[in-house]
Amino acid sequence: MKYVLSAELTIYEVYELQAELEALLGSLQEDLVIDGSQVVELDSAGLQLLIWLTKSVNAQNGKVSYSCLSNTLVEALDFCELPYKDAMYKETTNDS
């Protein structure tokens, strides 16, 4: 399943976003691909949300991958030394 993050992942949006993600987790039947291309503003609450989301999906024996990360998100993940490069989504095709 692919989930597109909103443009702002700050303390002002995280509470509502966490409720939305909890509902998503309740029905998640597959691995989660997070599209971070829209993120333009991020603070520590947004980073905490991403860490919580990753741990929650992993607790359900799922896997989180990232695709299309914005520069803002990449800079924050790099600054905090959070691993994401190995979790980049690699789309596969069955070309012959």
Residue ranges of E strands in the chain: 2-4, 8-9, 32-35, 41-42, 64-67
From CA 23, how far away is CA 41, in angstroms rounded? 24
Q: What's the pTM? A: 0.81
From CA 49, how far away is CA 45, in angstroms rounded? 6
Helix 44-59 × helix 11-27 angle, to 10°: 10
pLDDT tens, residue by residue, 9-41: 999 999 999 999 999 888 888 888 889 999 999
Question: What is the per-residue pLDDT for 93?
Answer: 40
From CA 43, how far away is CA 51, in angstroms rounded? 13
